Structure 1
Amino acid sequence: MDTLEGLADPIRRVGVRIEGVVQGVGFRPFVHASAQRFGLTGHVGNDTAGVVIEAEGPCEAVAGFLTSLRADAPPLATVEQVDVVELVPAGGRGFRIVDSDTSGPRGPRGPRGPRRTLVSADSATCEACLAELFDPRDRRYRYPFVNCTDCGPRYTIVRDVPYDRPNTTMAGFPLCGECAREYHDPADRRFHAQPVCCPDCGPRLRIVDPAGRSLGADPVSRAVELLRAGDVVAVKGLGGYHLATDATSDSATAALRSRKHREDKAFAVMVATLDDARRLCAVDDCAARALVDRRRPIVLLDRRHPDGVADAVAPGNRRLGVMLPYTPLHHLLLRELAAPIVLTSGNVSDEPIAYTDDDALARLGGIADAFLVHDRPIHVRADDSVVSPWRGDAVPVRRSRGYAPEPITCSREFPRPVLACGAELKNTVCLASGRRAVLSHHIGDLKNAETLRSFTEAIEHLSRLFDIEPAVVAHDLHPDYASTRYALERTGLDPVGVQHHHAHVAACLADNGVDGGDGVGGADDRAIGVAFDGTGYGLDGTVWGGEFLLATCADFERVGHLATVPMPGGEAAVREPWRMAAAYLRGATDGVDGVDDLAVARRQGARWDQVRRLLDSRLSMPVTSSAGRLFDAVAAVLGVRDTVTYEGQAAIELEQRADVGHSDGYEVGIADDGGMLVVDGPGLVRAVLDDHRRGTDLALVAARFHNALAAAVARTCREIADRTGVRLVALSGGVFANRFLLTRTVEALEGDNLTVLTHSRVPCNDGGLSFGQAVVAGARDRAMR
């Protein structure tokens, strides 16, 4: 090798490729500064797979530089892979940032295949930008679009890769001279920050009425006036429109609830500071970390002062969804208003969030009194994410803004690229290639044309961004799901049908890095999967939802379930839990007097009698093992909820009423039906009924029910473990979003020396189902090779 004159340390030149979340996060300026610190020459640039570097200097300096690429990376960066090749020293002066290469990924030795760049998720406003926002001497004072390489919009404004301004919705805002100077100055924190702008060259804020007429020259102050007056203001955020109103006003919140047709489901609340959150709710260290995290999710917290917000915000709910401001506009509103606001998705219930201006005015005109709008387009709609603190971790309930499209790394590679289409409710889609699974933002319930269009747009957009052309399409087995129909209509792809609850269990296994099992390694490859949810298409013609599976990621065997009961009225039984009470009580009380004199029967009157006659007839009706329907029955028996206005409402309110301080429960029978373990749900409902009739406090009865079900799960798993030698248990399905049930179940399983896996990266509900489908498809693909 050549050496520098007078130095013993030989010269080394390396070519470096870095993959991961390394575009739009200040990685090139970081590399430039690091190279200067080590005295290296060369260059750094983006391509459609990540960041490429050539660096030359003394061997010791190059080694230090390579170490710093991982150790000192910018806060928003995720370095997944660093490939280094040795090059012939070429000399040169200085270290440059070069223009992006859009022709495709190229390594130091030539083409590198398809695009693999990772687009960063949107990130909350950083402290440096906040300081400028509220500094009267700064040129961005009170400018609601201040951002830098450490914060601001990313995924929601990206049209294509590489992540450069022309490929974002900022393309229509040419940089002014001052912003251009910052953008091109390697020493500036806005160096190559693609959304950089200022009041002279960036987006503009306006406030208008539902007809589009201006309501004032100072949009923020006018919006605050309207909020103080009890009005509803539609606010354009990062991933779509929100509906905001004064969270301390019963009349304002009730008006929003009425106009939005959201009868009961709790609203989220935004507060200005962490201290404000602590005044409303119990905030431990885990919750505090989640609240201030750059993703700024809604965090579900136990309420400390129920009178801190209006009763209509979260009626009858002991928990409150709280978030902190994550855009400069939010900070301006909350600082001036000095009160918490309701901030809920800008839609009518069951519709997708509005994200284009024309659509917002059309769909929200009957809800909002005013619109706080701006002219920066949103390319991808993305609802707020929701997390629930549990055992020191912020467990995702809805994984969307701030998380998507950052990939989930799997322990095994997918032999061929997979598109997984998810479920009908809480839909997400997943694209998997290599060892990455890219889970989309929350799409919602595929029950209307607008949501279905969002579903197809998400697939097309993620396929383009990540250059993934799927060869396999995974789908649920339910033939009437819109996602299933879409999958089966995709010609040229190999379809893989995945049973709903197997997908749940596989998602939990892969969430914990246990996705290597292909069903060929005996007991050590398997896990006991417990999948509890509301509805899933069963292999035996029944509706599953309370399942015990002996599973690998490739296949499964059903080894237990909750006892099946009829669903009188089919889908009507999902909307009306009292019907499930009638079904469960019929199964538990044959020959017992007084069932028709229950309070639930008196509340329903003639309808109860009709359903009882239907149950006694020979008419065919769906049969279910659903844990969700078991919760419905108990909620109706206890008078908690006879009808629901949103999915899972009865179970959520039953958990809310339970006294978590009680640890005793009812005895639950577990039968062996030809090797199949069957948990006696009807007997459990009968025990609840008997206790309730004795006048036992509802909170205690609800707690005993939760404890009994948790103990029954543990006993069933222990029996399966004894029979098979499998001692790994994976808990999944939306019912395990119930923290009381989850905690008691895990405690009981761990007490039996079983290893328990729960979700930490993807939701346990159907929002994580597409990830599980992709994992199953990949495992089956591997098993065939």
Structure 2
Amino acid sequence: MAVRVDGVVQGVGFRPFVHALADRFGLAGHVGNDAAGVFAEVEGARQAVADFLTAVREQAPRLAVVERVTAAEIAGLGETGFRIVPSPAGGGARTLVSADSATCDDCLRELHDPADRRYRYPFVNCTNCGPRFTIVRSVPYDRPATTMAPFPMCADCAREYHDPGDRRFHAQPVCCPACGPALRLLGGPAGDPIESTVDLLRTGHVLAIKGLGGYHLAVDACDDAAARLLRSRKHREDKPFAVMVPGLAAARELCEVDDLAIRLLTDRRRPIVLLPRRQGSGVAGAVAPGNRQLGVMLPYTPLHHLLLERLAGPIVLTSGNISDEPIGYRDDEVRERLGPIADAFLVHDRAIHIRTDDSVVRPFRGRAQLMRRSRGYVPEPVTAAFPRHVLACGAQLKNTFCLAKDRRAFLSHHIGDLENYETLRSFTEGIEHFRRLFDVHPEVIAHDLHPEYLSTKYALEQDDAELVGVQHHHAHIAACLADNGVAGPVLGVAFDGLGYGPDGTIWGGELLLADLAGFTRVGHLAPVPMPGGTAAIKQPWRMAAAYLDTAYGAGVPGLDVVRRNESRWPDVVALGHRAINAPLTSSAGRLFDAVAAILGTRDAINYEGQAAVELEQLADPGERGAYRSTITPGEPLVVVGADLVVSAVDELRAGVPVPLIAARFHNGVAAAIAHACVTLRERTGVGTVALSGGVFQNLLLLARTAEALERAGFAVLTHSRVPANDGGVSLGQAVVAAAQAG
């Protein structure tokens, strides 16, 4: 019987698993990797072969994802015994590459066993854990095609590697202290690198630590001076830092941890999990200033385990970069760029082939809501239909790209904001790597409509494929459809910061009647000027000026936000009146900015979406009151966001506590969405709503909106496998291009 297995079946112990099954059922033959996946030939009793095929489908290794098993009768070769054969050269790459996985329990036992030859070895791994995607140069997944190629196995490791009964049988990253990568501390005291690093962290120093997908910057999370020093050197004024803790007990001391949080924290992907923080936890105020949430993760490499066990407390572990650049991963470049930030570097000599930042999730309604999809998730594909090979270039902010063919969309790791050379280089190099790895030759290139996005410019420079422009908010809704495995039609609510509208205005508070192939704009927030253009994004008080002028005209009440900016207020309002550098926008993100500024959160931001994030943190989650907004009938209908602003101003002047106002505003937005969707259901007959866009990373708004829609009888689609923010746009672009091509 000739057998082929498709899915994530390389680098996960699948060949030794098949070998063990063949021995169990008394079958002869062979198994191997090729560019398409795993192939095998087995011969023996008919029932034994049938039982073997069932076991292949149902008992696969922990990291494997079996998509399909096919078998065909062939003539027997009279083989005796069963063996693993070398990978053949050539052939188009169709196999799937496994994501990096956290250290398994078996390897942790070895790490802590003084009698084991890998005792305290920071690179212990096996077929069930360790580096995968970040070290793969090409497929088939064999050691010479990884960054472990420079490390010839010693006799002991080779014996394990070739023993079908060993956990490391054909584990490509297998190594030990005698033959594998080594740890060094640069710029610190001599001696054991782990002990010296721990001593430096305990005495307030900033350390750069090389991880699976890049370098991190670390300080003691309970040392406020060290956290402030890191902020100053990294130029990261307010954005929260992530924290790594030794284990679940430590996580419970810092945050509220329920059963879902435990599943997310201990998942083999080991993402950063955003959880409600406990008061008096001991974490320094500078780690996550003004934030009721804390991003927590557990150790996912042996090196992390060794460090955290010695420290016995939490550390800040944030991306090793200068603000707005991608995570650093090339050793020489990192030491040059992070030299002004880090006091010392904990490094090793196993190269990282592709940079991969930590993934970020939030628990929501019994499952994870991905905010950043990267290490541990990439390159696992999303299933959809792609009759032609597609490259989707994504958006400008939180960029990802997507390469797709046949039944699979390979969404990239988090690239970041395409605003500098380093990020653009990561984008272009990543596309080329994915093209080689998955043998995708784009016939269609999808891109955003915004002509100034660097991702769009890249697409337009390609001359060997058909170009498909995809409207930004249609891409958001299409991504939500693909995330949920449905084709539509739906009423799509796409709320975000901004996206280029076909009418020349800046969209961002959109109600679309959409399927994968197309959309109609059936509603939106009432447009207001964006005084100063991009300056209004960085200075939310400008949006407050625009909304207050829209609502009150010359009779704007004497609010603190007006007094704080009184010298510039008339000029900014005049920009809107004269329509000079003040494009109209229906952006929901800008409405949130306006209310945040009015309520006094901040007039200027240090990172994208900061004002809205802090408005969510400010809101009282127990408050159920809601402001009302006018829905102006028409095609499209219009939701008057200024009504919500007026209600917030009235209550602010009446002395209502700000947390209640912030909550009632959130609830009012949710009620307006539900009201508008009910009206649109009467027109269209569509009873399913898809929620997407960066504004729906706000879990208070997402929960209130989903509840209001469900009370009104709608089925509600939200994101889980890909982010609601612009990190999911490339997937949406890809499925739209495929639907239009079909």
Same fold (TM over 0.5): yes
Separation in structure 2 between the aligned mates of residue 719 and residue 614 of structure 1, nearest angstrom: 35
SS at match of 1:18: strand
Instruction: State the match for 1:567 in structure 2.
Output: 530
8 A contact 2:326–2:423 mirrored in 1: yes
Task: Give 1:10's aligned residue.
Answer: none
Amino acid at match of 2:640: D
2:539 paired residue number = 576
Does residue 424 of structure 1 match 2:396? yes
Q: 1:245 aligns with which of 215, 219, 224?
A: 219
Paired residues for 1:29-178 under 5 Å: 29-104=16-91, 114-178=92-156
Looking at structure 2, the residues matched to 239 and 620 of structure 1 have their Cα atoms a distance apart, in angstroms, of 41
Choose the corresponding residue for 1:257, options 216, 231, 247: 231
Return the offset for 1:728: 1.1
Which residue of 623, 639, 644 maps to 1:679? 639
Deviation, 1:620, is 5.4
CA contact (8 A) 2:399 2:417 kept: yes
Aligned 8 A contact 2:253 2:281 in 1: no
Structure 1 segments unaligned to the other structure (5+ residues): 1-13, 105-113, 516-524
Distance 2:36 2:554 in 1: 70
CA distance in 2, matches of 1:180, 1:601: 72
Matched, 1:226 2:200: yes
The 5-angstrom pairing of residues 462-611 of structure 1 reads 462-515=434-487, 525-590=488-553, 592=555, 594-595=556-557, 597-611=558-572
> Which one-letter code corresponds to 1:562 in the other structure?
L
* Partners of 2:282 and 2:629 in 1: CA distance: 41
Q: Deviations over 1:410-430 (max 9, x none)?
A: 2xx211100000000000010
Partner of 1:746: 706
In the alignment, the residues of structure 1 paired with residue 280 and residue 137 of structure 2 have an alpha-carbon distance, to the nearest angstrom, of 43
Shift of 1:306: 4.5
Deviation at 1:611, TM superposition (A): 1.3
What corresponds to 1:25 in structure 2? Answer: 12
Q: Secondary structure at 2:97's aligned position in 1?
A: coil
What is the CA–CA distance in structure 2 between the aligned matches of 1:668 and 1:306, rounded to whole Å?
A: 40
Is the Cα contact below 8 Å between 1:153 and 1:238 reproduced in 2? yes
Contact (CA 8 Å) 2:368, 2:720: kept in 1 or not?
A: yes
Aligned to 2:669: 709
- 1:447 aligned onto 2:408: no
1:90 Cα deviation from its structure 2 partner = 2.5
Structure 1 position 215, deviation (Å) = 2.9
Residue identity opposite 1:95 in structure 2: F
Q: Does 1:460 align with 2:432?
A: yes
- Secondary structure of the residue that 1:163 maps to in structure 2? coil
Distance 1:307 1:17 in 2: 53
Q: Displacement of 1:615 after TM fit?
A: 3.1
Is contact 1:124–1:152 with CA below 8 Å preserved after alignment?
yes
User: CA separation of 1:738/1:217 partners in 2, compared to 1, >3 Å: closer, same or farther?
Assistant: same
Alpha-carbon contact 1:279-1:305 (below 8 Å) kept: no
The answer for the alignment partner of 1:696 in structure 2 is 656
| Inter-partner Cα distance in structure 2 for 1:306 and 1:150 | 38
Q: Which residue of 1 aligns with 2:585?
A: 624
State the distance in 1 between where 2:409 and 2:95 align. 13
Q: Which of 177, 181, 184 is 1:199 aligned to?
A: 177
Separation in 1, partners of 2:484, 2:383 = 10
Match status 1:667 vs 2:619 = no
Q: What is the distance in 2 between the residues matched to 1:222 and 1:604? A: 50
Map of 1:109 onto structure 2: none
Compute the displacement of 1:618 (Å): 5.4
Which residue identity does 1:633 align to in structure 2?
Answer: A
Aligned to 1:5: none
| 2:336 aligned partner, one-letter code | A
Per the TM alignment, residue 402 of structure 1 is displaced from its structure 2 partner at its CA by 0.5
Quote the Cα distance in structure 2 between the aligned partners of 1:181 and 1:616: 78
Aligned length: 742
What is the CA distance between 1:676 and its match in structure 2?
1.4
**Cα-to-partner distance string for 1:596-647 (whole Å, 9 max, x where unaligned):** x210011113012321233344535211000000000000000011110001
Contact 1:116 1:467 in 2 (8 A): yes
SS at match of 1:529: strand
Bigger drift between 91-100 and 418-427 goes to: 91-100
> Could you tell me how far apart the structure 2 residues matched to 1:613 and 1:730 are?
38
8 A contact 2:619–2:660 mirrored in 1: yes
Structure 1 length normalisation: TM-score?
0.94
Q: Secondary structure at the match of 1:34?
A: helix
The equivalent of 1:359 in structure 2 is: 333
SS in 1 for 2:582: coil
Out of 714, 719, 731, which is 1:771 matched to?
A: 731
Is 1:296–2:270 an aligned residue pair?
yes
Alignment partner of 2:157 out of 179, 200, 220: 179
Instruction: Determine if contact 1:445/1:451 at 8 Å carries over to the other structure.
Output: yes
Aligned to 2:387, which of 387, 392, 415? Answer: 415
Which residue of structure 1 lines up, in the alignment, with residue 617 of structure 2?
656
CA RMSD of aligned residues (A): 0.9
1:368 counterpart = 2:342: yes
Distance 1:20 1:146 in 2: 26
1:440-491, Cα deviation, whole Å (9 max, x unpaired): 1001111111110110111000010101111000000000001001101111
Letter in 2 for 1:432: A
Q: 1: CA distance between counterparts of 2:173 and 2:565? A: 58
Q: Equivalents in 2 of 1:302, 1:724: separation in Å? A: 40
User: For residues 331-385 of structure 1, what are the alpha-carbon distances to aligned partners after superposition, in whole Å with 9 as ceiling and x for unaligned?
Assistant: 0000001110000000011011110111111110000000000011100000000
Matched, 1:612 2:573: yes
Q: 2:575 touches 2:581 (CA, 8 Å); kept in 1?
A: no
Match of 1:216 in 2: 190
Amino acid at match of 1:529: G
Gaps of 5+ in 2: none
Q: Name the counterpart of 1:759.
A: 719
Structure 1 residue 689: deviation in Å?
A: 0.6
Q: Distance in 2 between matches of 1:338 and 1:717?
A: 51
- The secondary structure found in structure 2 opposite 1:93 is coil
C-alpha deviation, 1:526, in angstroms: 1.4
Work out the CA distance in 1 between the residues paired with 2:263 and 2:714: 30
TM-score by length of 2: 0.99
Query: Secondary structure at the residue paired with 1:756?
Result: strand
Partner of 1:518: none
Q: CA deviation at 1:325?
A: 0.2
3-state SS in 2 of match to 1:501 = helix
Which secondary structure does the structure 1 equivalent of 2:623 belong to? coil
What residue is the counterpart of 2:678 in the other structure?
718
**Letter of the 2:410 counterpart:** V
Equivalent position SS for 1:207: strand
Instruction: Provide the residue aligned with 1:642 in structure 2.
Output: 603
Written as runs of structure 1 = structure 2, the 5 A alignment for 1:312-327 is 312-327=286-301
Displacement of 1:395:
1.2
% identity of equivalent residues: 66
